[in-house]
């Protein structure tokens, strides 16, 4: 993946999306994502996911339904958008024409609505809504 597309880095203690917290309860792992240009923004957004979502190019192992916590920066905006999410899409390695990664549904809360609105404003203002994405 080029630098012009989404760049992701993950922090995790194990190979799955959730790790055990003290006391045995699972806690969401954290993924950070920086989208640096309009093309990356348009190709990663998943408007067909209820409440909005984003495709994160990654080699991380996860299962459908795993909870994750995303921390994102979008374009030149220094704001770090923090939003909980759930894995709703997995593109495995070796899929022709698509990068490996995870589709994350934004939580249906204030943080999720805020980041969904931000994506839609940025994509709409740039006229990129008809571009091909990493998922469909």
pLDDT at 42: 87
Question: How high is the pLDDT of residue 21?
Answer: 46
SS3 state of residue 46: coil
Q: Does a structural domain hold residue 1?
A: no
Residue 68 lies in a domain: yes
Domain range for 80: 7-12+25-126
Q: Check residue 21 and report its DSSP letter.
A: P
CB 88 within 8 A of CB 99: no
The pTM of this model reads: 0.75
Bridge partners of 35? 74
- Grade residue 22 by pLDDT with cuts at 50, 70 and 90: very low
Report the CATH number at residue 80.
2.40.10.220
Q: How many domains does the chain have?
A: 1
pLDDT tens digits, 85-107: 999 999 999 988 889 999 999 99
Check residue 125 and give its pLDDT: 59
As a whole-number percent, the residues of the chain with pLDDT over 70 amount to 71
Is residue 39 assigned to a domain? yes
User: What residues does 112 pair with on adjacent strands?
Assistant: none
Contacts of 42 (CB under 8 A, 6+ apart): 123, 126, 128, 129, 131, 133
């Amino acid at each position: 993946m080029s630098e012009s597309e989404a760049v992701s880095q993950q922090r995790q203690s194990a190979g799955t999306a959730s790790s055990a917290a003290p006391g045995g309860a699972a806690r969401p792992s954290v993924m950070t994502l920086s989208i640096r240009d309009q093309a990356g923004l348009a190709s990663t957004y998943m408007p067909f996911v209820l409440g909005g979502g984003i495709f994160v190019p990654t080699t991380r192992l996860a299962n459908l339904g795993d909870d994750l916590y995303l921390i994102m920066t979008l374009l030149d905006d220094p704001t770090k958008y923090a939003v909980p999410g759930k894995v709703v899409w997995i593109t495995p390695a070796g899929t022709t024409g698509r990068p490996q990664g995870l589709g994350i549904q934004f939580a249906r809360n204030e943080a999720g609505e805020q980041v969904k609105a931000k994506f839609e404003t940025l994509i709409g203002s740039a006229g990129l809504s008809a571009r091909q994405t990493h998922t469909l």
